[in-house]
Amino acid sequence: MATANPNHVLPAVAVIGAGIMGSAMTRNLVAAGLSTTVWDRSLAATSPLGEAGAVVAESAQAAIQDAEVVITMLPTADVVESVIFDAGVAEAFADGSVWAQMGTIGVDATLRIRDRLEASWPGVTFVDAPVSGSKQPAQQGQLLILASGPPAAAERLAPVFDVIGRKTVWLGEVGKGSQLKLIVNAYMSMLIEGVAEALDLADRLGIDHQQFEEAIEGGPLDAPIADAKFHKMDRGDFTAEFPLEWALKDVDLAISAARGDAPPLLAALSSQWHTAVAAGHGRQDISAARLALGPRRT
């Protein structure tokens, strides 16, 4: 195990996962002058990042071996554990490095991964830091970072988090970031389903979408995320910014984290979105929730 140097102002960073969010993070880190290595199972995902100035690693192990900060932005806990642990990649972590786990993988999985890391690699600091935001905020470096972990990690991660996020909220012990992320995404999901159902009702009643928009514009009901998804639904633009299947994953993680009886609205939402994903809308944007409600007015 190599040793990371915590005194660098701009740490060397490795990004594991080059999907919508990971690729945007990588581009912003490179543009800010940070030495950034990226790895993804898909060469098609990393090739453009190499052209943008990132170092494209041949393996996850090669990506992290000299990194002072390692970011994982992977879709599920199973993928995180497979990539980091199952192939011995964790052995390449530099002693003194910080692992920022930034995908939304749930509370139980986050704690399990922390414990697994601490048991075998105590010289690596684990930080639970999921992000709130989709494609455009990620591209603009405007993500909200919900971080939890050892207080000393905050200073180490600041040069990285300041580039990829508009704000970092530190919440205490590992797991708190994931808890708040599930709450935030549950709230967001209910807002977006609300927009979809309101537009469906408007279509059924023959109310023009523009009239609906004018009624709520500038008032207390005019939430920015709801407005953005309103316009995507109105245009019939379901290009993925935050895929519906990943939103559903987060809803189900929130239900699981709640313990006991599922919150009733989330339970109904989960059922509705499972139907939408089964109908083929999972890879489309979360705004495709509208498509599961019947035909749109054109």
Length of the chain: 298
Which token pair is 206?
């023959």
Contact 264, 252 (CB under 8 A): no
Closest CA to 284 of 243, 225, 234: 243
| 1: confidence class by pLDDT, cuts 50, 70, 90 | low
Q: Which residues does residue 131 pair with via DSSP β-bridges, in sequence order?
A: 145
3-state secondary structure of 179: helix
| 295: confidence class by pLDDT, cuts 50, 70, 90 | confident
Catalytic residue among 135, 167, 176, 181: 181
Which token pair is 123?
């010289």
Report all structural domains of the chain as residue ranges with CATH numbers, in order of start: 13-172 (3.40.50.720), 179-293 (1.10.1040.10)
Which token pair is 211?
């009239």
Instruction: Report the alpha-carbon distance of residue 223 to residue 194 in Å, rounded.
Output: 12
Which token pair is 249?
């994953």
Rounded average pLDDT over 109-137: 94
Given a cut of 70, is residue 298 above it in pLDDT?
Answer: no
Instruction: Identify the burial level of 80 via C-beta atoms within 10 angstroms of its C-beta, where 0-12 means exposed, 13-18 middle and 19 or more buried.
Output: buried
Given a cut of 60, is residue 6 above it in pLDDT?
Answer: no
Closest CA to 123 of 11, 14, 37, 1: 1
| Annotated catalytic residue 181 | yes
Residue written as token pair 């930034």: 102
- Per residue in 210-244, pLDDT (tens digit) is 999 999 999 999 999 999 999 999 999 999 999 99
What phi and psi, each to the nearest 5 degrees, are found at residue 217? -60, 130
Rounded average pLDDT over 184-191: 96
Contact 97, 125 (CB under 8 A): yes
Instruction: Identify the burial level of 266 via C-beta atoms within 10 angstroms of its C-beta, where 0-12 means exposed, 13-18 middle and 19 or more buried.
Output: middle
Closest CA to 24 of 169, 136, 181, 162: 136
Rounded average pLDDT over 7-26: 90
| pTM for this predicted structure | 0.90
CB count in 10 Å sphere of residue 262: 17
Which token pair is 109?
């999985």
Cα distances (Å, whole numbers) of residue 131 to 111, 142, 244: 17, 10, 17
